[in-house]
């Protein structure tokens, strides 16, 4: 388990410290020359389309998806922490994943939905970099949480006799805390580079929200090296987590071949849900941050998928494919209805 997270941590920190000195030296002279120029106080987001009719349709669609996402993930959280039968490591991690998904859906989506009704979509300088910080913080947390869930499934299937010993409560809490610390590290390594750049001219961001690759291009200095660090940083955590997940699930699939047909069916059902979420989550991340010359229209679609569609996949996939979760939700709903009747 320690090897899983040390690979991610060392890769990110080594890249940061190797590039810090050279970046500061190359950017400092240009930044000092532009220090006294007027600073950008706000950014203009171009959004998805210039058609008002399409924007009204997107407003209705995204509003419904956002409400379902929040309520669905909130229902999972309440069900997991209110049902004694779900007091297991897998559901503990699932509840935390739902909280991250709910927060990930809320960091930019409400403002984006409101912007669909506005002609000019403006966001303040502080608001823009707050979005960037939260995007990379929550994205990093979710990636490491997915690795933690893969580790949990690996122990449960490959080492069932030692499962409760290895995945005890302290280990589960440690996995969640580590996820937040690595997410904070991932976001914290990049934001200082971007926020200290001089923005004194262009302020139009061709997207639905602020993200580092697009915002840094608006700086008044050459940001080629800064963008390389940004892409490499996000690329390292994305690829590291994705490779670890592929290895984990490959080992699990090899192991379940020796299980009974019933055990294989149950394990495959669980793994299918996990692998589906992993592919749909990491696909847009890898394309945006590792693909060197992506198209802006494709980036916009992936940004929508990443922030609006992906967070709703957790309640849909994990709930519809999980009999235990569906039974627990029905019991919780009946208890709620009965309590309302009594009052």
Whether 38 shows a pLDDT value over 80: the answer reads no
In this prediction, residue 249 carries a pLDDT of 83
Can you read off the two tokens belonging to residue 298?
């494709």
Cα–Cα distance measured from residue 124 to residue 189, given in angstroms and rounded to the nearest whole number: 22
Average pLDDT over residues 223-233: 77
Whether 84 shows a pLDDT value over 80: the answer reads yes
In this prediction, residue 240 carries a pLDDT of 81
Can you read off the two tokens belonging to residue 130?
């707050």
pLDDT band for position 296 (cuts 50, 70, 90) = low
Whether 6 shows a pLDDT value over 80: the answer reads no
Grouping H, G, I as helix, E, B as strand and the rest as coil, residue 167 is coil
Average pLDDT over residues 208-220: 84
Whether 16 shows a pLDDT value over 50: the answer reads no
Q: Name the nearest CA neighbour of 241 among 31, 17, 64, 12.
A: 12
pLDDT band for position 137 (cuts 50, 70, 90) = very high
Cα–Cα distance measured from residue 231 to residue 285, given in angstroms and rounded to the nearest whole number: 10
List phi, psi (to 5°) of 44.
-110, 125
Whether 297 shows a pLDDT value over 70: the answer reads no
CA angle 58, 54, 316 (to 5 degrees): 25
All structural domains of the chain, each given as residue ranges with its CATH number in brackets, are 39-331 (1.20.1070.10)
Grouping H, G, I as helix, E, B as strand and the rest as coil, residue 88 is coil
Q: Give percent above pLDDT 90 in the chain.
A: 18
Cα–Cα distance measured from residue 247 to residue 332, given in angstroms and rounded to the nearest whole number: 37
Least confident of 120-124, 239-243, 261-265: 261-265
pLDDT band for position 169 (cuts 50, 70, 90) = very high
Can you read off the two tokens belonging to residue 112?
């984006």
Rg (Cα) of the chain, in Å, rounded?
22
Cα–Cα distance measured from residue 9 to residue 2, given in angstroms and rounded to the nearest whole number: 10
Whether 301 shows a pLDDT value over 90: the answer reads no
Average pLDDT over residues 204-210: 85
Check residues 153 and 262 and name the one with the higher pLDDT: 153
Cα–Cα distance measured from residue 312 to residue 143, given in angstroms and rounded to the nearest whole number: 16
Average pLDDT over residues 185-206: 84
Q: Name the nearest CA neighbour of 45 among 250, 230, 243, 211.
A: 211
Least confident of 121-125, 261-265, 273-277: 261-265
In this prediction, residue 118 carries a pLDDT of 86
Phi-psi region of 47 (alpha: psi -120 to 50; beta: other; left: phi over 0): left
Q: What pTM was estimated for this model as a whole? A: 0.81
Can you read off the two tokens belonging to residue 30?
């240009």
Q: Name the nearest CA neighbour of 45 among 124, 137, 130.
A: 124
Cα–Cα distance measured from residue 321 to residue 215, given in angstroms and rounded to the nearest whole number: 40
Q: Are 151 and 5 in contact (CB under 8 A)?
A: no
Q: Are 7 and 166 in contact (CB under 8 A)?
A: no
């Amino acid at each position: 388990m320690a090897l899983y997270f040390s690979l991610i941590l060392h890769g990110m920190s080594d890249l940061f410290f190797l590039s810090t000195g050279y970046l500061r030296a190359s950017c400092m002279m240009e930044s000092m020359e532009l220090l006294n120029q007027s600073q950008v106080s706000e950014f203009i987001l171009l959004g998805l389309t210039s058609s008002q009719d399409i924007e009204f349709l997107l407003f209705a669609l995204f509003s419904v998806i956002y409400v379902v996402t929040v309520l669905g993930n909130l229902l999972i959280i309440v069900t997991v922490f209110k049902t004694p039968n779900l007091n297991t490591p897998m559901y503990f991690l699932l509840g935390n994943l739902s909280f991250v998904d709910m927060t990930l859906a809320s960091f930019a989506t409400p403002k984006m939905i409101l912007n669909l009704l506005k002609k000019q979509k403006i966001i303040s300088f502080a608001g823009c970099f707050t979005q960037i910080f939260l995007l990379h913080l929550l994205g990093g947390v979710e990636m490491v949480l997915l690795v933690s869930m893969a580790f949990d499934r690996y122990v449960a299937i490959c080492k069932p006799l030692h499962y409760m010993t290895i995945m005890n409560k302290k280990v589960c809490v440690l996995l969640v805390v580590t996820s937040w610390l690595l997410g904070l590290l991932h976001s914290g390594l990049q934001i200082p580079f971007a926020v200290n750049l001089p923005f004194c001219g262009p302020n139009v961001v061709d997207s639905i929200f602020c993200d580092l690759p697009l915002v840094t291009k608006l700086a008044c200095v050459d940001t080629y090296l800064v963008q390389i660090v940004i892409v490499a940083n996000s690329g390292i955590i994305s690829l590291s987590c994705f490779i670890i997940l592929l290895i984990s699930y490959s080992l699990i699939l090899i192991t379940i071949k020796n299980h009974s047909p019933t055990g294989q069916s149950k394990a495959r059902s669980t793994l299918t849900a996990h692998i589906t979420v992993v592919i749909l989550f990491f696909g847009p991340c890898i394309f945006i941050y590792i693909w060197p010359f992506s198209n802006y229209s494709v980036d916009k679609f992936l940004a929508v998928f990443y922030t609006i569609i992906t967070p709703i996949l957790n309640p849909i996939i994990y709930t519809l494919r999980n009999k235990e979760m569906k039974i627990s939700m029905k019991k919780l709903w009946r208890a709620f209805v009965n309590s309302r009747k009594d009052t």
